[in-house]
């Protein structure tokens, strides 16, 4: 079936089965590899994208449910000033180890700052606990979010 | 193993290099659009990095452009341990260039040019520290020689800094970019004889340096094996028997083939011989489904019905292991691992005797990027793209299994979304290779999360039954451990062994380690700090019990225990994760440092909160922890903070990456103790995803404060040694908080799970 998707501000028409998760449309049909496959069950957050600014798990979001809403992926998040700030903070703090989960982490963090510009530790826990980092870079993720939020943070490393 | 030893530095090869004809150089030169090259490794004309017009290769590792941009090859696979950044840093340091001018490329897999290209055992830094320095120094030497020839001045009058050769006497200077083409034509110096920098002048090594792939990571650029695309590529999913080594009796292939997008569905017979266990044993049989998209392949897989021949191991279960281990614990060990002094006499004379049994579970690696591999078989040759820790192992397996000569198998190592020991196994590579050949197309095989969790080489579980004797002065005088583990015929299953030198062996006069083995059909293998990750938990926890039973402060008890070796090491103390060179003085210093940083004995904590300490020597690293843990009203453990001190030598190559590794290893250990357990039922793995195998999450992650103790030792690796002390430090802190010992991990045992899918 043909679906016309609005992804990172551009229109894409894809011909896929209606049940195909958005993740696999992004990765294998549109060759946008930033959203990652981790669990296929909405448990790890590696596949996080935004739909109309809300963080969703694209691995359990059927393409048929997306409609004309705006999809933003990690490839497009730099257009969002908060997303850009977070990407810069991630680099400044040298967050990544393997890096595989980090696009999803940044997408979740962008949604957090959009709602809560100055998140407390508890806010960060609540929003970010859906994103697993197997390398456990959580100390640095927390620091990077605070840096992007404009808080004074201890420089790592 | 050739790179870092004699072959590289063999003068015979040097002679070969020096006689390489100019004609050969020019021939290659023409092919590469002006870049001249030479190498100081085994392949005299190796231009190991991609040939780039206008750039000159200075050996296999270094390419310098006319614009001064230096491209350095990262020889080992990047799995999140930061080696793609740290090894090139060492080369850049001795080459004497600015890091801002350096670009890094992953080296092709070529042992002749790059030596061992694996990630495992925290060996990359200790194996390559000296080599990488010499590679960089040789490049610098060639640039200096080129300048000396240009100016007709003695080399001794020249200095270098920031990618420039200078002649102070005449005030002349040439940039490396201006000298590179000329330098590339010079014979390579003998690596043994090159001049190395005084480490006091290091400008790159020891400076916090950001991961070279960081920008690509945060922008979601394709980096990983799972991101590979090849023209004409199809996608595969592969269903294997839930019991290792099981084979297909029949499958409803026709029904699967009728599903949308499916191009092929076929049975793979597999090559694992009866009774062989382990991911290196061969190709596991199963059913491959190849489709236009991966999603279609997996939708079709839901229709797949397979009748398996599960084999004799289908009767095994975790419950059965636990019951058998309890029976064996009542008997004498089947075999002795080590025996010092006279434990029976010592127990009789002891003022106090203490007994306790400990256990730890099977664990999965659960890398965030599931196992995957892209393969393209065409014209008798195999091309592979794979996130691997040991591409050579997979290439060997493909060669053996499919009869393709190794020279016809090209392996591209991608960045890996985590490794932790999992990706040293060749299974995704041989599966993808086989499927590509049978499908007659390039194929990307991606395992589902459930495939990944149920077809791992698991950290084996283990059961330890301890007895200790304490004398009237509170000194530990005798210790026995009956270790119930896995294996057969007196041989331990992979990564389930215990050596004779596990601490405190050699530090107490009467000691006996013995083992009994249970047969195991589940593959096992190395998980981050293999061996040590379980042994540290049980030994460091039981030593804490002994300290408390002796009425002594654990810190004082341990500093005393570490004060002298009481039994000489046996002549061949091998096979143990600790290695034979444990230096207790380094451990004492490290333990004292972490105690000081955590305020051990200097501060009071609220009721229900406690401090615990633990330390361990593994992978040549000395690491000590203090954990602060609060017992919540519901009896949960909440870790407030963990302090870590580590001595991994005199240089921390990249302090940013090093701190990150330590924090990650510690939090990895926290995740393990909280709730991770792999359960075996009917010979297969029960858990399939992160709902039942919980990885640590943000809200559970306390601050981890890291301190490095610098010692006059060559630098060693950090991917692993910070994990082992974590579990016992937390368990000991929980005891300090509650008076309750944690002797069986995980702390939160899963609900009764005995149903295999």
pLDDT at position B275:
83
Structure tokens at A67: 């409609």
pLDDT at B25 over 70: no
Asked whether B401 and B434 are in contact (CB, 8 A), the reply is yes
Q: How far apart are CA A128 and CA A107, in angstroms?
A: 10
- Kindly determine whether residue B655 and residue A157, on different chains, have CB atoms separated by under 8 Å: yes
Q: Are residues A85 and A65 in the same domain?
A: no
Helix-then-strand count for chain B, H and E: 20, 29
Of A72, A106, A124, which residue sits at a domain end? A72
- At B339, list the tokens: 């025996």
The pLDDT of residue A94 is 98
Residue A17 lies in a domain: yes
The residues in B 264-323 lying below 8 A from A, measured between CB atoms, are: 293-296, 299
Judged by CB atoms within 8 Å, which residues 46-105 of A form the interface with B? 46, 73-75, 78, 87, 90-91, 94, 96-103
pLDDT mean over A78-101: 98
Q: What integer is the mean pLDDT of B486-500?
A: 96
Does B18 have pLDDT greater than 80? no
Identify the closest residue of chain B to A49 by CA–CA distance.
Answer: B220
Question: B570: pLDDT confidence band, cut at 50, 70 and 90?
Answer: low
Nearest CA in chain B to A93: B210
Q: Which single residue is written with the structure tokens 């240009």?
A: B150
pLDDT band at B749 (very low <50, low <70, confident <90, very high): confident
pLDDT in tens, B673-687: 999 999 999 999 999
Q: Looking at the partner chain, which of B210, B260, B418 has a beta carbon nearest the beta carbon of A98?
A: B418
Q: Give residue A64's region: left, alpha or beta (phi > 0; psi -120 to 50).
A: alpha
Residue A153 pLDDT: 65
Tokens of B507: 């530090």
A65 and A91 both lie in a single domain:
no
pLDDT band at B31 (very low <50, low <70, confident <90, very high): very low
Burial of A74 (0-12, 13-18, 19+ CB in 10 A): buried
Torsion, Cα B740 B745 B748 B751, to 10 degrees, reads -130
C-alpha to C-alpha distance for B464 and A138, rounded to whole angstroms: 33
Is pLDDT at B61 greater than 50 in this prediction?
yes
Is A156 a domain residue?
Answer: no
The answer to whether the CB atoms of A17 and B220 lie below 8 A apart is no
Which residue of chain A is at minimal alpha-carbon distance from B449? A39
Do A65 and A85 belong to one domain? Answer: no
Is the peptide bond prior to B504 cis by the omega test (within 30 degrees of 0)? yes
Q: For all residues of chain B together, what is the average pLDDT?
A: 91
pLDDT score of B2 more than 50: no
Quick: pLDDT tens for A103-134.
999 999 999 999 999 999 999 999 999 999 99
In percent, the amount of chain B with pLDDT more than 90 equals: 84
**Between β-strands B335-340 and B510-518, what pairing exists: parallel, antiparallel or unpaired?**
antiparallel
Mutation for testing the A interface, residue in B220, B293, B660, B692 having most A CBs under 10 Å = B220
CB contact under 8 A, B370 and A38: yes
Here the CATH number for the domain that contains residue A120 is 1.10.150.120
User: What pLDDT does residue B29 have?
Assistant: 29
Spatial separation of the C-alpha atoms in residues B642 and A93, rounded to whole Å: 20
- The rounded distance, in Å, linking the Cα atoms of B107 and B113 is 9
Query: Is residue A108 in some structural domain?
Result: yes
If you classify domain B6-196 with CATH, what class do you get? alpha beta
Token pair, residue B280, equals: 């290196």
User: Is the CB of residue B725 less than 8 Å from the CB of residue B706?
Assistant: no
B379: number of Cβ within 10 Å: 6
pLDDT for position B45 = 28
Spell out which residues of chain A touch residue B218, defining contact as CB-CB under 8 Å. 74, 87, 90-91, 96, 102-103, 106
Asked, colleague to colleague, whether B228-312+371-446 and B318-363+458-738 share their fold, the answer is: yes
How far apart CA B542 and CA B494 sit, in angstroms, is 25
At residue B201, the pLDDT reads: 97
- Using the Cβ of B525 and the Cβ atoms of chain A, whether some distance falls under 8 Å is answered with no
- Range B207-234 average pLDDT: 98
Model confidence over B628-649: pLDDT tens digits? 999 999 989 999 999 999 999 9
A32, A97, A103 member nearest B664 (Cβ): A97
Element (H, E) at A3: strand A2-7
CATH of domain B318-363+458-738: 3.30.365.10
pLDDT band at residue A154 using 50, 70 and 90 as cut-offs: low
Cα B187–Cα B188–Cα B192 angle in degrees, nearest 5: 140
What CA–CA distance (Å, rounded) separates B3 from A143? 40
First to last CA, chain B: 43
Is residue A157 one of the residues assigned to a domain?
no
Q: Read off the pLDDT band of B274 (50, 70, 90).
A: confident
Total tally of structural domains belonging to chain A:
2
- The CATH number for A52's domain is 3.10.20.30
For chains A and B, what is the number of CB pairs under 8 angstroms? 189
- The interface predicted TM-score (ipTM) is 0.97
Whether A120 has its CB under 8 Å from any CB of chain B: the answer is no
Query: Quick check: B459 pLDDT over 80?
Result: yes
A64 and A87 housed in the same domain = no
- Confirm or reject contact between A7 and chain B (CB < 8 A): no
Answer yes or no: is A141 within a domain. Answer: yes
Q: Do B667 and A138 touch (CB under 8 A)?
A: yes
Flag whether pLDDT at B112 surpasses 90.
no
Strand partners for B662: none
Choose one of A72, A90, A108: the last residue of a domain: A72
Query: Given this model, what pLDDT does residue A157 score?
Result: 38
Which of A19, A44, A72 corresponds to the end of one domain?
A72
Same domain, A82 and A40: no
Q: Which of B227, B659, B698 sits opposite A33 (nearest CB)?
A: B227
Task: Express each pLDDT in B344-397 by its tens digit.
Answer: 999 999 999 999 999 999 999 999 999 999 999 999 999 999 999 999 999 999
With respect to residue A82, please indicate whether it lies within any of the assigned structural domains: yes
Give B228-312+371-446's CATH code, choosing from 3.30.365.10, 3.40.50.1100, 3.40.50.150, 3.30.2130.10: 3.30.365.10
Name the pLDDT band for B13 (thresholds 50, 70, 90): very low
B332, pLDDT greater than 90: yes
When pLDDT is averaged across residues B443-450 and rounded to a whole number, the result is: 98
B57 has a pLDDT exceeding 80? no
Instruction: Tell me the backbone φ, ψ of residue B500, rounded to 5 degrees.
Output: -85, -5
pLDDT, one tens digit per residue, over B388-442 is 999 999 999 999 999 999 999 999 999 999 999 999 999 999 999 999 999 999 9
Cβ–Cβ under 8 Å, residues B74 and B84: yes
Find the closest chain B residue to A48 by CA distance. B220
Calculate what percentage of chain B has a pLDDT beyond 70: 91
Confidence of residue B755 (pLDDT cuts 50, 70, 90): confident
Residue B750, pLDDT score: 73
Per-residue confidence (pLDDT) for residue B43, from 0 to 100:
30
Which among B391, B419, B448, B399 is positioned nearest to B238, based on CA atoms?
B448
Q: Which domain covers residue A61, as residue numbers?
A: 2-72
Does A140 reach chain B within 8 Å, measured CB to CB? yes
């Amino acid at each position: 079936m043909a679906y016309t998707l609005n992804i990172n501000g551009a229109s894409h028409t894809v011909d896929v089965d209606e049940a195909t998760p958005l993740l696999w449309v992004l990765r294998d049909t549109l060759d946008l590899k930033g959203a990652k496959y981790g669990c296929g069950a909405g448990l790890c957050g590696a596949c996080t994208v935004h739909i109309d600014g809300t963080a969703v798990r694209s691995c359990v979001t059927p393409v048929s449910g997306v409609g004309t809403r705006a999809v933003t992926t990690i490839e497009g998040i730099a257009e969002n000033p908060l997303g850009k700030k977070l990407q810069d903070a991630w680099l400044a703090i040298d967050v990544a180890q393997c890096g595989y989960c980090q696009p999803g982490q940044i997408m979740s963090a962008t949604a957090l700052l959009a709602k809560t510009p100055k998140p407390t530790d508890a806010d960060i826990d609540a929003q970010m606990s859906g994103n697993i980092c197997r390398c456990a870079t959580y100390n640095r993720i927390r620091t990077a979010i605070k840096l992007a939020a404009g808080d004074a943070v201890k420089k790592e490393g | 193993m050739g790179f870092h030893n004699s072959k590289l530095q063999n003068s015979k090869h040097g002679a070969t290099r020096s006689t390489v004809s100019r004609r050969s150089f020019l021939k290659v030169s023409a092919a590469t659009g002006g870049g001249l090259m030479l190498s100081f490794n085994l392949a005299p004309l190796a231009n190991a990095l991609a040939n780039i017009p206008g750039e000159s290769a200075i050996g296999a590792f270094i390419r310098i452009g006319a614009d001064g941009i230096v491209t350095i090859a990262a020889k080992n696979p990047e799995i999140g341990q930061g080696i793609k950044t740290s090894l090139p840093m060492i080369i850049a340091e001795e080459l004497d260039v600015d890091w801002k001018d350096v670009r890094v490329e992953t080296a092709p897999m070529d042992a002749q040019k790059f030596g061992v290209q694996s990630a495992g055992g925290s060996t990359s830094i200790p194996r390559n520290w000296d080599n990488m320095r010499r590679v960089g120094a040789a490049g610098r030497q060639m640039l200096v020689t080129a300048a000396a020839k240009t100016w007709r001045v003695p080399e001794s009058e020249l200095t270098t800094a920031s990618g420039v050769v200078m002649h102070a006497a005449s005030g002349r200077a040439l940039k490396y970019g201006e000298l590179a083409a000329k330098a590339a034509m010079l014979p390579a110096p003998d690596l043994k004889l090159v001049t190395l920098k005084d480490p006091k002048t290091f400008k790159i090594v020891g400076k916090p340096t950001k991961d070279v792939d960081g920008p690509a990571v945060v922008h979601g650029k394709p980096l990983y094996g799972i991101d590979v695309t090849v023209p004409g590529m199809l996608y595969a999913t592969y269903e294997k028997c839930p019991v290792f080594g099981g084979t297909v009796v029949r499958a409803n292939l026709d029904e699967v083939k009728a599903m949308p997008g499916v191009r092929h569905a076929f049975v793979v017979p597999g090559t694992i011989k009866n009774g062989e266990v382990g991911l290196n044993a061969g190709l596991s049989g199963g059913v491959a489904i190849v489709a236009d998209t991966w999603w279609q392949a997996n939708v079709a897989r839901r229709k797949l019905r397979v009748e398996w021949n599960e084999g004799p191991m289908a009767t095994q279960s975790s419950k059965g292991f636990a019951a058998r281990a309890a029976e064996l614990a009542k008997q004498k060990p089947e075999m002795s691992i080590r025996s010092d002094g006279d434990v029976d006499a010592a127990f009789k004379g002891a003022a106090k005797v203490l007994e306790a049994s400990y256990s730890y579970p099977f664990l999965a690696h659960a890398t965030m990027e599931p196992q995957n591999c892209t393969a393209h078989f065409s014209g008798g040759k195999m091309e592979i793209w794979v996130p691997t820790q040991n591409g050579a192992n997979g290439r060997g397996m493909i060669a053996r299994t499919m009869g393709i000569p190794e020279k016809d198998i090209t392996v591209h190592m991608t960045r890996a979304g985590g490794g932790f020991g999992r990706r040293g196994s060749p299974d995704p590579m041989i599966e993808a290779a086989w499927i590509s050949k049978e499908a007659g197309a390039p194929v990307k095989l991606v395992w589902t999360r459930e495939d990944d969790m149920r077809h791992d080489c698991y950290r084996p579980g283990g059961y330890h039954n301890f007895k200790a004797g304490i004398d009237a002065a509170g000194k530990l005088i005798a210790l026995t451990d009956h270790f119930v583990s896995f294996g057969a015929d007196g041989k331990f299953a992979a990564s389930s062994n215990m050596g004779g030198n596990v601490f405190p062996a050699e530090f107490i006069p009467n000691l006996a380690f013995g083992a009994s083995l249970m047969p195991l059909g589940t593959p096992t293998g190395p998980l981050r700090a293999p061996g040590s990750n379980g042994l540290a938990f049980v030994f460091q926890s039981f030593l804490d019990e002994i300290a408390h039973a002796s009425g002594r402060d654990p810190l004082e008890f341990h500093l005393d225990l570490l004060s002298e070796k009481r039994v000489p090491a046996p002549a061949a103390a091998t096979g143990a994760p600790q290695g034979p060179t444990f230096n207790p003085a380094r451990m004492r210093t490290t333990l004292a440092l972490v105690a000081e940083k955590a305020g051990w004995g200097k501060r009071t904590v609220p009721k229900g909160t406690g401090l615990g300490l633990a330390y361990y020597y593994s992978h040549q690293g000395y690491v000590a922890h203090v954990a602060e843990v609060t017992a919540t009203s519901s009896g949960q453990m909440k870790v407030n903070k963990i302090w870590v001190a580590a001595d991994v030598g005199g240089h921390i190559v990249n302090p940013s990456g090093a701190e990150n590794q330590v924090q990650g290893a510690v939090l990895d250990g926290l995740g393990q103790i909280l709730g991770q357990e792999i359960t075996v039922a009917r010979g297969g793995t029960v858990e399939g995803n992160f709902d039942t195998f919980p990885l640590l999450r943000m809200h559970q992650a306390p601050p981890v404060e890291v301190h490095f103790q610098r010692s006059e030792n060559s630098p060693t690796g950090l991917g692993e040694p910070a994990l082992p002390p974590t579990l016992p430090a937390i368990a000991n802190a929980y005891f300090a908080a509650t008076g309750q010992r944690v002797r069986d991990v995980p702390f939160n045992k899963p609900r009764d799970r005995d149903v295999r899918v």
